[in-house]
Amino acid sequence: MEFYRSEPTAQSSWRLAVLMGANSRTYKFALGEALLQAAGEGRDDLTVAELAAPYAMALVRRAQRYPQVSAKQELAASDFLSIAVEEAEASLAAGQPTQRLLEAAVTSMPAMVMQKFHNLRDNGSASSTVGHTFYEVRGRGKDRRVHLTPELRQVAAGAAVLSDELDARWSIVETSFDAGIGTSLLRSGVVLSADGEALQAPIIRRAHVASARHALVGFQHGRCFYCHQTLTTLKRDVHVDHVFPYSWMRTGSWRGPDLNAVWNLVVACAGCNLAKSNRRPTETEVQALDARNEAIMASPHPLKRSLQLTMRAPGRAEAKTAEQRRSFLRDVVHLTTEGHAGTAWAVTS
């Protein structure tokens, strides 16, 4: 995948696993959180139970707010998630998993999530794995131990940004599992709040899904879109920026697509955001935007859905192919080039 080829690092492998895998449940995120925490504490060898405790606690905390499995799936009483729901209250009150929850996590975690964490989505041919290994399970039965690799420790060193990304991805996936909001997310993708800061659920209610900067930064390798410096935090010195200036929509004569949409939004450092202001993007920047959007396309619903639905001219088919999306970007460039007349939007308006 181009995303990995452009930056073949352990961080990119981590992002492939966390941001771009298919999710029928949220176990991978809970494991990711537990791994970052353990590696951040300098651990490199621990028992399955030591990893299962933060894993189970992360799941019960999140399960308080949203379902951790698609509403379409029926859970058996013996399912780990059923036990997590039953044990949530007592575990949260104690600040650690109950014995029953811990045992269920230790029993189920290796096969349920640890064997799958490194897998990329099955792309129709053979399923493949990411290019780096973050842990190995050694031994058998009660003697099983989890060995954390140097690659994981390297990834965990930049954990502030990666945990924010993981958190945002988790929010997007669990919101899409929610029966009330999920249907609209899968049909219509996420929409941006007016200030471009938040991703929201459309149609049913404008519910907050995730921070836009947290949800998008991973798809640009955690770097400023313009100067490529690594962003170490996602706080106030990091901005969300419209590549095609949002101010163009307020001129009254704008006849192009909605510029306040995921396809046009990137994360940038304060300096670049300020310097860019309202200038039109360069050709290189449009190409980089295309590459970033294609990275998002590898991520399952609903971010992917947002791009398919918004990167099209009125009356045109959903932009399901990379060529259609590229053609859309070319149309927007034409539309914003002075003296250009016949565009898809001008014709239909």
Count other Cβ atoms within 10 Å, centred on residue 1.
15
Q: Mask: binding to Zn ion, 176-215, rule CB under 5 A, as x and -?
A: ----------------------------------------
- Determine, following the binding rule CB under 5 A, whether residue 36 of this chain makes contact with Zn ion: no
Residue 288: CB minimum distance to Zn ion, A: 12
Q: Which amino acid is at 211?
A: S
Per CB under 5 A, the segment of 76-84, 124-132, 249-257, 270-278 that binds Zn ion is: 270-278
Compute the distance between CA of residue 94 and CA of residue 28 in angstroms, rounded to an integer: 24
Question: In this complex, which beta carbon is closest to Zn ion, that of residue 270 or of residue 322?
Answer: 270
Residue 292: CB minimum distance to Zn ion, A: 14
Give residue for tokens 């104690």: 94
Residue 225: CB minimum distance to Zn ion, A: 7
Question: In this complex, which beta carbon is closest to Zn ion, that of residue 278 or of residue 348?
Answer: 278
* From 51, 191, 269, 332, residue interacting with Zn ion (rule: CB under 5 A): 269
Q: What is the number of alpha carbons within 13 Å of residue 301 lying toward its C-beta?
A: 16
- Determine, following the binding rule CB under 5 A, whether residue 227 of this chain makes contact with Zn ion: yes
Q: Mask: binding to Zn ion, 244-263, rule CB under 5 A, as x and -?
A: --------------------
Going 158 to 159 to 160 to 163, the CA torsion angle's sign is positive
* From 226, 244, 246, 263, residue interacting with Zn ion (rule: CB under 5 A): 226
Residue 238: CB minimum distance to Zn ion, A: 9
Q: How buried is residue 269: exposed, middle or buried, by Cβ count under 10 Å (0-12/13-18/19+)?
A: buried
Three-state secondary structure along the chain?
A: CHHHHCCCCHHHHHHHHHHCCCCCECHHHHHHHHHHHHHHCCCCEEEHHHHHHHHHHHHHHHHCCCCCECCCCCCCCCCHHHHHHHHHHHHHHHCCCCHHHHHHHHHHHHHHHHCCCCECCCCCCCCCECCCCCEEEECCHHHCEEEECHHHHHHHHCHHHHHHHHHHHHHHHHHHHCHHHHHHHHHHCCEECCCCCEEECCCCCCCEEEEHHHHHHHHHCCECCCCCCECCCCCCCEEEEECCCHHHHHHCCCCCCCCCCHHHEEEEEHHHHHHHCCCCCCHHHHHHHHHHHHHHHCCCCCHHHHHHHHCCCCCCCCCCCHHHHHHHHHHHHHHCCCCCCCCHHHHHC
Question: In this complex, which beta carbon is closest to Zn ion, that of residue 112 or of residue 272?
Answer: 272
Per CB under 5 A, the segment of 109-117, 119-127, 176-184, 224-232 that binds Zn ion is: 224-232
Question: In this complex, which beta carbon is closest to Zn ion, that of residue 265 or of residue 319?
Answer: 265
Residue 270: CB minimum distance to Zn ion, A: 8
- Determine, following the binding rule CB under 5 A, whether residue 272 of this chain makes contact with Zn ion: yes
- Determine, following the binding rule CB under 5 A, whether residue 274 of this chain makes contact with Zn ion: no
Compute the distance between CA of residue 14 and CA of residue 81 in angstroms, rounded to an integer: 25
Question: In this complex, which beta carbon is closest to Zn ion, that of residue 3 or of residue 226?
Answer: 226
Residue 185: CB minimum distance to Zn ion, A: 31
Per CB under 5 A, the segment of 22-30, 204-212, 245-253, 267-275 that binds Zn ion is: 267-275
Question: In this complex, which beta carbon is closest to Zn ion, that of residue 27 or of residue 226?
Answer: 226
* From 224, 240, 243, 267, residue interacting with Zn ion (rule: CB under 5 A): 224
Residue 231: CB minimum distance to Zn ion, A: 9
Question: In this complex, which beta carbon is closest to Zn ion, that of residue 33 or of residue 241?
Answer: 241
Per CB under 5 A, the segment of 12-20, 55-63, 265-273, 316-324 that binds Zn ion is: 265-273
Per CB under 5 A, the segment of 156-164, 217-225, 246-254, 331-339 that binds Zn ion is: 217-225
Question: In this complex, which beta carbon is closest to Zn ion, that of residue 40 or of residue 271?
Answer: 271
Which residues in this chain contact Zn ion in the complex, by CB under 5 A?
224, 226-227, 269, 272
